[in-house]
């Protein structure tokens, strides 16, 4: 019987296929700025114990902000098949997330719980806990992006083409990065805008609730993202042109979601490294 072993040519082919698959598959990720902004908020809220615990797991010299986008880059190569872990498709016609929306547990909701469990297990190998930290940081943020949850049969907005300020994009990318970048590419400026939202009352309110609750919040925000202007009967169709009035609607939502993601990520880490 012929045994096929992976040889160099084979591996090159696999690599090429993986590259072409990456090129055609729609992106599903808060953009790099959004991840860094939310992580910056979280980092400032860590207890000394959490800071030390995180430092012990990261490579020397790395900060949480440095690794916030790992899952969108190296993470896909490190764990093949991890792309669906970044989101969950909940129909925008649903009232709430259901476990059936997460086939085989391969979605952002279950992966947050899974990696939280790995990190909580002090007897797990350090390499496993380090990897769990890389994914957990990123996924707590991804689940707060409304279009990583709400879906209109269009891969979370990836297949809904949008003209934004005269340039072609799609609804998913608009929420991942286009609006964030249109408002400001300066992460410090974003952090300053978000600062007033981090009041004790808000932090207290946001510190309750489960991963499913965070998911349902994103679903509600996604419904609004699709039904614009407010109260529109039908979701945005492909080919819609969106301008500054959409930014005026979306920006406060994004500010709140990044603030919530930052607070909750800090809560997670503070609880895990007590």
CA distance 39 to 112: 16
111/273 with CB nearer Zn ion: 111
- What SS3 state is found at 91? strand
Q: Tell me, residue by residue from 59 to 78, as one string, x for binding to Zn ion by CB under 5 A and - for no binding.
A: -------------x------
Crossing angle between the packed helical segments 32-44 and 126-142, to the nearest 10 degrees: 110
Using Cβ positions, the residue closest to Zn ion within the complex turns out to be 29
Two structure tokens written together for 224: 């609004």
Element (H, E) at 25: none
CB of 161 to Zn ion, least distance (A): 21
138/193 with CB nearer Zn ion: 138
Q: Is the dihedral of CA 27, 32, 37, 43 positive or negative?
A: positive
Token look-up 């899952």 returns 71
53/254 with CB nearer Zn ion: 254
CB of 83 to Zn ion, least distance (A): 9
Q: Tell me, residue by residue from 2 to 41, as one string, x for binding to Zn ion by CB under 5 A and - for no binding.
A: ---------------------------x------------
Token look-up 């990897």 returns 131
- Say if residues 194 and 41 touch (Cβ distance below 8 Å): yes
Interaction of residue 86 with Zn ion, rule CB under 5 A: yes
Q: Tell me, residue by residue from 113 to 152, as one string, x for binding to Zn ion by CB under 5 A and - for no binding.
A: -----------------------------x----------
Provide the binding-site residues for Zn ion, judged by CB under 5 A.
Answer: 29, 72, 86, 142
């Amino acid at each position: 019987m012929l045994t096929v072993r992976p040889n160099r040519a084979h591996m090159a082919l696999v690599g090429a296929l993986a590259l072409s698959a990456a090129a055609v598959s729609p992106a599903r990720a808060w953009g790099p700025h959004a991840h860094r902004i939310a992580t910056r908020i979280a980092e400032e809220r860590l207890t000394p114990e959490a800071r030390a615990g995180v430092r012990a797991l990261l490579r020397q010299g790395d900060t949480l902000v440095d690794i916030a986008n790992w899952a969108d880059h190296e993470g896909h190569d490190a764990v093949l098949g991890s792309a669906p872990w970044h989101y969950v498709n909940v129909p925008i016609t649903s009232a709430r997330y259901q476990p059936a929306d997460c086939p085989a547990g391969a979605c952002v909701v279950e992966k947050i719980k899974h990696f939280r469990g790995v990190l909580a297990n002090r007897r797990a190998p350090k390499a496993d806990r380090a990897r769990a930290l890389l994914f957990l940081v990123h996924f707590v943020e991804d689940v707060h992006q409304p279009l990583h949850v709400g879906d209109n049969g269009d891969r979370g907005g990836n297949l809904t083409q949008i003209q934004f300020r005269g340039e072609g994009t799609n609804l998913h990318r608009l929420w991942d990065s286009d609006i964030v970048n249109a408002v400001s590419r300066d992460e410090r400026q974003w952090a300053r805008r978000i600062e007033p939202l981090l009041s004790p009352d808000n932090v207290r309110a946001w510190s309750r609730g489960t991963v499913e609750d965070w998911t349902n919040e994103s679903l509600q925000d996604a419904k609004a993202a699709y039904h614009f202007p407010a109260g529109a009967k039908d979701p945005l169709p492909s080919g819609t042109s969106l301008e500054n009035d959409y930014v005026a609607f979306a920006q406060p939502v994004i500010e709140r979601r990044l603030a919530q993601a930052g607070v909750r990520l800090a809560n997670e880490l503070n609880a895990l490294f007590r």
